[in-house]
Amino acid sequence: MKGPHNIWRLIRTAGTFERTGAMEVVLDQLDAPRSLRVLARILGWPFKWLGYEGDPALPPVTRALTALGPSYIKFGQILSTRPDFVGAELAMQLRVLQDKLPPFPTELARQTVQRELGMPSDTIFREFSEPVAAASIAQVHQARIAGDGTKVAVKVLRPGIAKAFRKDIDAFYLGAWLMETVAPSTRRLRPSDVIAHFDATVEQELDLRAEAAAASEFAANTARDDGFTVPSVDWNLSGREMMTLEWAEGIPMADLDAIDAAGHDRVALADRVMQMFLRHALRDGYFHADMHQGNLKIAPNGDIVALDFGIMGRLDEYTRRVYAEILMGFIRKDYHRVAEVHFEAGYVPADRDVDLFAQALRSVGEPIFGMDASRISMGRLLAYLFEVTERFGMETRTELILLQRTMVVVEGVARSLNPHMNIWNAARPEVERYIRENLGPKAFARDLYRTTQVLARFGPHLPRAVEDVLKGTRQTVVVPSARQNIGSSAAWFLAGAGVTALIGALAIWA
């Protein structure tokens, strides 16, 4: 929060929000207390004339963020994944925020290439086009590598973008601090944590080596997925400020006329988009979290090609199992099982009534299943589910919110290809496959085997640990103490671990 520029930036931000009509929308969505509304008016109304006008054709908040520039556009995109913070209605508006800006000169991109790779761009690339796409953080050029003429996509950071983002993020931290100080009730929304999450996300996007690593990991995970392709990374031609990928030929997913003209089956494509997303989220726990139409192409052979790996999502193995059971419970209309899964996972406090929770879940599922197939939405289901679980004391889980947000986007893409698509019919095979492979006897044996592997690594330490525990127990037998309790617990743990290891070994051997 250093420097007077932070105060100036906040004043100009407030003035822009006043001028575009976004201020009232944001304050209402945040259910802002009177003290925060007064502060906003003090910062905004007198300086309305300093605010940017923006594009009147856009909704107020989208208009304000677009006018304020790259940092605000990216911040709006991040907030679209946090309906718990900005509210469902505003989050929906922010999902359509377009991350497009005028390109910067190609000569500056060439200078970045030379700085990163240590030689002139003409030496490395025999062709280097004008920008083919430009966003808030970087732009893309088509190029051909000198020598073999391989066609590649070269992504280059905007000059000075890291410094510009740093200034704005400092101002965001100041704004969050003012918000928490003036209106303590807003601390429940944890504004500073939201800014810290944004800071970490942008820090990663400003290092294209991180995106290259994400693309490489995603490509390795999906290498055997028929009908889905991820361009490979050229690590020799990538660095902090630039990244080189193989060029992906294809039709933009949004160009339905071209897709039809090429003879691709849009119904099959719609099912595949949904199934691939679920497969990656459930099987790998690593999914593309920005799968809008601008980041997808249809290759000449009909494969879906994914692009832009700046925003990726992760789910740990336990969360994936819980998520799959929740989805399957809804598919089967087994609301009591869905409720039990929430309690077993610790998502809902144990002192709540499981039957009442199951009844509340029925109120979520039944209206959706009563809809026409073309209107059924898993994204909407999860949004309603979060509303209900919040009433029952479930804490916000950002990884599930990102999953829900991505699912809404993927559903939109799938329905643009096939407006009459039945989302549940498309999703069911992937969910059932995951449950069959990860929640049955095979999965139980695999879990036990992993447990034995962990215990085996500590095997050489176990005899001494047991001896120390027993000695400690003998020394403290007269006067019970915390040490005795710890020793006793450790002994029971070791005994249990031994039994678990034996069962695991027998199960695997059998």
Q: How far apart are CA 320 and CA 342, in angstroms?
A: 13
Strand partners, 297: 252, 305
Instruction: Give helix 378-391 / helix 398-417 axis angle, nearest 10°.
Output: 150
Measured distance CA(470)–CA(495) in Å, rounded: 12
CA distance linking residue 141 with residue 282, whole number of Å: 34
Half-sphere exposure of residue 393, counting CA atoms within 13 Å on the CB side? 10
Out of 168, 271, 290, 308, the active site residue is 290
Tally of CB atoms within 10 A around 105: 11
With CA atoms as reference, report the closest residue to 395 among 354, 348, 431: 348
* Residue corresponding to tokens 């377009």: 98
Q: How far apart are CA 500 and CA 74, in angstroms?
A: 48
d(CA 232, CA 82): 31
**Burial class of residue 4 (count of CB atoms within 10 Å of its CB; 0-12, 13-18, 19+):** exposed
Q: Is the dihedral of CA 442, 447, 453, 459 positive or negative?
A: negative
Instruction: State the residue for tokens 């994936």.
Output: 320
d(CA 208, CA 241): 6
3 state DSSP class of 149: coil
Beta-carbon contacts of 166 under 8 Å, excluding residues fewer than 6 positions away, are: none
Hunting for tokens 């906003």 — which residue is that? 40
Tokens, residue 336? 């009591």
**Strand-pair partners of 145:** 125
What residues contact residue 252 under an 8 Å CB cut-off, 6+ apart?
A: 258, 293, 294, 296, 297
Q: Is 55 a catalytic residue?
A: no
**Helix or strand or coil: residue 333?**
coil
Burial of 162 (0-12, 13-18, 19+ CB in 10 A): middle
The single-letter DSSP state of residue 395 is: P
Provide the token pair at 186: 């807003």
In whole angstroms, what is the distance from residue 386 CA to residue 392 CA? 10
Convert 441-458 to b/e letters by CB count within 10 Å (16 or more is b).
eeeebeebeeebeebeee
Q: CA–CA separation, 166 vs 272, rounded Å?
A: 40
Residue by residue, DSSP assigns 33-63 as -HHHHHHHHHHHGGGGGGS----TTS-HHHH
- The residues carrying an active-site annotation are 290
